[in-house]
Amino acid sequence: MKVLVTGGAGFIGSNFVHYWLEHHPEDDVINFDALTYAGNLENLRDIEGNPNYHFVEGDITNAQTVNNVMEGVDVVVHFAAETHVDRSILGPGVFLKTNIIGTQVLMDAALKAKVKRFHHISTDEVFGSLELGSSEKFNEETAYNPHSPYSASKAGSDHLVRAYGDTFGLPFTITNCSNNYGEYQFPEKLFGLAITNVIENKAVPVYGDGLNVRDWLYVQDHCSAIEAVLLAGKLGETYTVGGLKDDVSNLEVVKMILRIMGKNEDQIEFVQDRLGHDRRYAVDWSKINQELNWSPSVTFEEGLRKTIEWYQTHQEWWTPLKKQAQGFFEQNYKKV
Task: List active site positions.
Answer: 124-125, 150
Q: How far, in Å, CA of 10 to CA of 298, rounded?
A: 22
Tell me the longest C-alpha to C-alpha distance in the chain. Answer: 57
Pairing of strands 268-271, 28-33: unpaired
Q: How far, in Å, CA of 40 to CA of 131, rounded?
A: 37
16, 79 in Cβ contact below 8 A?
yes
**Residue 132 DSSP symbol:** T
223, 297 in Cβ contact below 8 A?
no
End-to-end CA gap in the chain: 53
The total number of residues shown for the chain amounts to 336
82, 99 in Cβ contact below 8 A?
yes
137, 284 in Cβ contact below 8 A?
yes
**E strand intervals along 191-231:** 204-207, 216-218
Helix (H) or strand (E) holding 77: strand 75-78
DSSP string, 185-238: --TTSHHHHHHHHHHTT--EEEETTS--B--EEEHHHHHHHHHHHHHHPPTT-E
Q: Which residues pair with 5 in a beta bridge?
A: 31, 77
Alpha helices in 24-134 (DSSP H): 63-70, 85-90, 93-96, 102-113
